[in-house]
Amino acid sequence: MDFLTPEFLTAVFQIILIDILLGGDNAVVIALACRGLPAKQRMQGIIWGTAGAIILRVILIFFAMQLLAIPFLKLVGAILLVWIGIKLLLPHDEDHANIAASDRLWAAVKTIIVADFVMSLDNVIAIAGAAQKAGGDHQVALVIFGLVISIPIIVWGSQLVIKLMDRFPIIITLGGMLLGWIAGHMAYTDPAIVPYVPQTDVMKYVFEIGGALLVLAIGKALAGRGKPAADKAPS
């Protein structure tokens, strides 16, 4: 196999670019899930969460086209992503005070893997499309290469986002809304929904903005419901 053909090198470049562009969403999810961990465990959460997500994505890439054609699958994924976004917006320091550090670490890792799996339903199509241009013999190698390249991008991005969250808490809210935005887009493009919804830019934005606002509204409502009890405790 010749790995220096123009087609192969072009596909490599495209996959790296896709990883950079799509790594932002993953970095936000990882940062949100790991922000409440002790400083010593944050890197462990990032590494294990990223590794699990990458392994799942390798498996998912081989079934992506078939999965995306299943009616209601993306809709279920959208609902799951909204739930994850709401959960990540809730204050958790007090809730997890009595939970062992190791349990918190693996809870964060599970959140990362589930969220990345849902978000990857669309993302893997872009990587698979780029890999196809290099020819059948190279597709598997290209997919694995592209996912391996994405690891340092996501790990570095996650660390940066966590640092920004510590300084600017509003980023936590924006991160949760981003998951809602992605969920809205997934729901809009579900094969079971497409025949009944006008496929226009306006309607697409309605779904995306609606998803973001849904996460924000429910997240704030649930977070606010827990504040009175916390405020009464000191007095």
- In this predicted model, which residue has the larger pLDDT, 232 or 105? 105
Q: What is the mean pLDDT of residues 51-74?
A: 75
- pLDDT value of residue 127: 66
Q: Residue 129's pLDDT is what?
A: 61
Max avg pLDDT among 92-96, 127-131, 138-142, 158-162 = 158-162
Mean pLDDT score across all residues of the chain:
77
Distances (CA, A) of 233 to 72, 227, 230: 44, 10, 5
Q: What is the pLDDT of residue 116?
A: 79
DSSP H helical ranges for the chain: 6-34, 39-61, 64-68, 73-89, 101-132, 139-167, 170-188, 201-232
Give percent of the chain with pLDDT exceeding 90.
16
Inform me whether the pLDDT recorded for 86 exceeds 80: yes
pLDDT at 41: 85
Between 9 and 102, where is the model more confident? Answer: 9
CA distances from 39 to 45, 90, 103, 216 (A): 10, 20, 15, 27
**pLDDT tens digits along 100-153:** 555 688 888 888 888 877 777 666 666 666 666 555 556 667 767 777 777 777
Cα separation, 135 vs 95, whole angstroms = 51
pLDDT tens digits, 179-224: 899 889 889 988 899 999 998 999 999 999 999 999 999 999 988 8
pLDDT of residue 154: 78
pLDDT for the residue 1: 47
CA–CA separation, 174 and 122 (whole Å): 21
Give the distance between the most distant pair of CA atoms in the chain. Answer: 73
Number of residues that make up the chain: 235
Mean pLDDT for 66-82 is 82
Q: Which of 24-38, 76-90, 108-122 has the highest mean pLDDT?
A: 76-90
Contacts of 114 (CB under 8 A, 6+ apart): 80, 84
Residue labelled with tokens 């562009």 = 21
